[in-house]
Chain A
């Protein structure tokens, strides 16, 4: 069964460093998403991406964040200068369509720890 994959599973970085989190969505899916979950809290939407551009972003997704689909299969989230409060689990998700009836399938997550 096709699945979303994410690498790395765990990333430890120093405050102020840049990190890139990688995702490979399900191959026939057209809509891509990033969410984050701070430990013990609910899952929060960061950004949606379709047709090589951002469709929607939350207030969390400020200028320190960027997304890219560099090669037609990978989907990346870059944090330019990490802060302590960026420590969280980051989930990539994808769906065939962007409509409200379509299921989003999540990757296993990348746990980001900022020291």
Chain B
């Protein structure tokens, strides 16, 4: 069983509409992260969480918000989707900092038309 699942796996949406991506974990890990992956840019951190209701911005947070009301769920919301937010979005979890590896979800491919 996967310890982390993302939904949906694929989504096409129109410019200007709000979109919410969900990340669900069954590992009870404290830390959760949202990354986007684009050609030529690698993986870039959008937002992260270090506990329930504790979140902070990453390097590319503009246009995105997050919420974490339960340990197992971390939601990423695009307030008003733009074409520049077309990307593959990955959620990751970790048990701690520094030497703890990340476990990634399978990703959500989002297309904004």
Partners in one complex: no
Report which A residues bind B (CB closer than 8 A).
none
Interface, chain B (partner A; CB < 8 A): none
